[in-house]
Amino acid sequence: MFIQPCNIFFMKKSIYFSIIFILISLVSFAQIVNEGVLKIKDGTTVYFGEEYTNKVGATHDNEGNLHLNSNLINNGLINESSNADLANGITYFDSPTNGSATTNAIQTISGSSNKVAFENMVVSNTTGVSVADGMELIVEKGVTLTSGDLRMVGESQLIQKHTGANSNSGNTKLLIDQQGTTDTYNYNFWSSPVSGATAGSYTVGAVLYDGTDSSINSFTPSIATYTTGAPWNGTPSTVVGGSVTTALNLESYWLWKFENGNIDDGNDWFLIRNTTAISPGLGYTMKGSGAASANQNYVFKGKPNDGTYNLVLGANKSSLVGNPYPSAIDGNSFITQNAAVLADITVPSATLGALYFWEHWGGNSHFQNNYQGGYATYTLVGGTPPTSHPDVNGGGTSSGINGARYIPVGQGFFVETATGGTITFNNNMRIFQTEGANSHFFRPANGSNKNATEDLTQRIRLGYNNSTGFYRQIMTAFVPECSDGHNTAYDARMVDVNPEDLYWITNNKEYVIDARPFRADLQIPLGLKVTNSGIQSIFVEATDNFDDAIYILDTDTGFTHDIRQSNFEVNLEPGVYNNRFKLVFQPASTVSVDDVVTSSLQVYFTKKNKEITITNLDKLTLKSAKVYNTIGQLIKIVSKSELLQNEIKIPFHVASGTYLINIETTIGKGAFKIIAY
């Protein structure tokens, strides 16, 4: 540890009892460096007057009172205590107590380890403390903001680990960024990581600031302004020399909350504008300012939220909630800790345990029936992306981003319950996770993941395109502890079933996520809704940790299609097809036909007569016989009178190609393939 002697003071106890196992060296410049093990014991007060560096391989452990008068650079390890509730050590970022020290209006926390941990933290300098982009700031117990703000830059996050109520105090504020859409027609779902002047409550108008010039004016953003009226659009910032001179203006009419509304009822939204007080953990909607860039940077500025927050949901109600903290939260932890409220096996068709994230990607309209968007969905087995359509109202397509486990700062989402109860957010759910593959704020663009984690869950993601270009992805996951029926917190009902759509069928309801144990003879029912006749295409979008063969079984034709090799395409007329298609893992010869039936019937095509012949060798009782082309389109149905004949002749003047004949008898089904030439 390099120490400039005139700038470090030890009080209350001897240095030898306060700092142990440290390497001390002197240099001629004003800098303090720890190269060994620094431990400040409880009851000891230490002042570091100049910039302090904890070097690579060094360890820092403060259980006493450490006053830092300058910057902190951590390239090593700054320890956490074993019990956050009992952590009494305090790290102060404050004005110099030594007259010869340099005055720092802004102190910085940075370093290659990207992590620092304090038992408690006090900010009491001139302007504040700036935490570098990508840093994880852990304050185990409380943050006191006496004078000077705490500025979280970029992807830096604040984690607190104690139990119970909010431990933060002080009159100054925390500032943290998040980016939303700039589109004046599109909603984001938001939730504030800070409260207003009254802890435990906020208004959007009090905590939301213009972050356009955050890189220049990190501590002094301009507060957002609001208006209402035609044309019902926000306006972007005016920027001169990189700084905002006139803050962005938002249309307050698009600020709504959905609290304890009736499930699937669009009439239960409540207009809050920018002045209605709402509780931490509740979400709200907001549209963009119309800036030229794809994303608008906002700054939330207020008292940092911390501790436990409770929201009461009524029976069969839904609420737009959101991450209430200046850090990410773990969606799995949120689901499992609220299982008693989200779970109800007596109502298996309810959402129960799933999280829904709205992405609004098109429509160019303020009329709800023109909105283009959908819900990304997440359960304990993973997530699926929103739907998209490339040609509707000139809108575009969704990001294709799956609902993700880690919920970022400011992200709002929907939950539902059947029996009602109290939804809880607490510090145990908080986690440092930068946005990327595992954590997304739902807006048009997202960055790359910086903290990917290994996931060994077996999944199949099916994609679906219809004749008009609509796209949907659904997912099945193989989990040994699940059943073939509804599995709370693993399965997810599809909350936005479209007129043309693909879905799993469980308990006669449409599902977007399906979980069950795997076995070779498994058959998972698929449903299709069709409003425009034409080709419907189902394909393997992706698989995770699953290498077995995958087929679509068409129970009308009796044949399976290997969708690992090529898309399954079927030509369908308008209608609902909930009993025809299944996802299976063995070919038709194994899963879909009766050997007795196929051996008792002979089916062939005669080129000379252009006819199909069905010979009933064992005089089975035939219930139906249907002819399909290879894309599942019904070509011919054999009449009931013809079914009584032991040899059936079917005139077949069609284009050359392969055709499928499905024959149902009283003892089973038979599936046959012919080539017409």
d(CA 153, CA 234) in angstroms, rounded, equals 26
Amino acid 512: pLDDT: 96
pLDDT band at 468 (very low <50, low <70, confident <90, very high): confident
Half-sphere exposure of 206 (CA within 13 A, CB side): 17
Amino acid 101: pLDDT: 55
d(CA 10, CA 351) in angstroms, rounded, equals 59
Q: In the chain, what are the helix, strand and coil shares in percent, each to the nearest 5? A: 10, 45, 45
3-state secondary structure 2-54: ECCHHHEEEECCCHHHHCCCCCCECCCCCCEEECCEEEECCCCEEEECCCEEE
For residue range 485-517, what is the model confidence (pLDDT) as tens digits? Answer: 888 899 999 988 989 999 999 988 999 999 999
Amino acid 107: pLDDT: 95
Report all structural domains of the chain as residue ranges with CATH numbers, in order of start: 5-172 (no CATH), 178-431 (no CATH), 458-478+489-591 (no CATH), 595-676 (2.60.40.3080)
For residue range 309-368, what is the model confidence (pLDDT) as tens digits? Answer: 999 999 888 999 999 999 999 999 999 999 888 865 455 544 568 999 988 666 677 766
What is the DSSP secondary-structure string of 242-259? TEEEE--EEEGGG-EE--
Residue with tokens 């009178």: 641
What average pLDDT does the segment 211-217 reach? 95
Identify the bridge partners of residue 181 per DSSP, sorted by sequence position: 295
pLDDT band at 106 (very low <50, low <70, confident <90, very high): very high
pLDDT band at 632 (very low <50, low <70, confident <90, very high): confident
Query: What is the separation of C-alpha 130 from the centre of its chain, rounded to a whole number of angstroms?
Result: 28
Reading phi first (left if > 0) and then psi (alpha if -120 to 50, else beta), residue 281 is in left
Amino acid 197: pLDDT: 87
pLDDT cut 70: percent of the chain above it: 85
d(CA 261, CA 318) in angstroms, rounded, equals 5
How many residues does this entry show for the chain?
A: 677
**Which residues are within 8 A (CB) of 449 and not within 5 positions of it... i.e. 6 or more apart?**
434, 435, 436, 437, 438, 439
For residue range 144-192, what is the model confidence (pLDDT) as tens digits? Answer: 999 999 999 999 999 999 999 999 999 999 999 999 999 898 888 999 9
**pLDDT for 460 beyond 50:** yes
pLDDT band at 5 (very low <50, low <70, confident <90, very high): very low
**pLDDT for 397 beyond 70:** no
**pLDDT for 9 beyond 90:** no
d(CA 30, CA 552) in angstroms, rounded, equals 72
**Considering only 24-38, 88-102, 465-479, 541-555, which range has the smallest mean pLDDT?**
24-38
Amino acid 374: pLDDT: 82
What average pLDDT does the segment 592-613 reach? 83
What average pLDDT does the segment 602-612 reach? 90
For residue range 357-374, what is the model confidence (pLDDT) as tens digits? Answer: 988 666 677 766 666 678
What average pLDDT does the segment 108-123 reach? 97
Amino acid 174: pLDDT: 98
pLDDT band at 211 (very low <50, low <70, confident <90, very high): very high
**8 A C-beta contact, residue 59 and residue 79:** yes
d(CA 272, CA 609) in angstroms, rounded, equals 75
pTM for the full model? 0.85
Amino acid 470: pLDDT: 85
Amino acid 22: pLDDT: 43
Rounded to a whole number, what is the largest CA-CA distance in the chain? 110
**pLDDT for 568 beyond 90:** yes
The better pLDDT of the pair 6, 92 is held by: 92
pLDDT band at 423 (very low <50, low <70, confident <90, very high): very high
| pLDDT, mean over the chain | 87
The tokens for 362 are: 């098109």
For residue range 274-307, what is the model confidence (pLDDT) as tens digits? Answer: 999 999 999 999 999 999 998 999 999 999 999 9
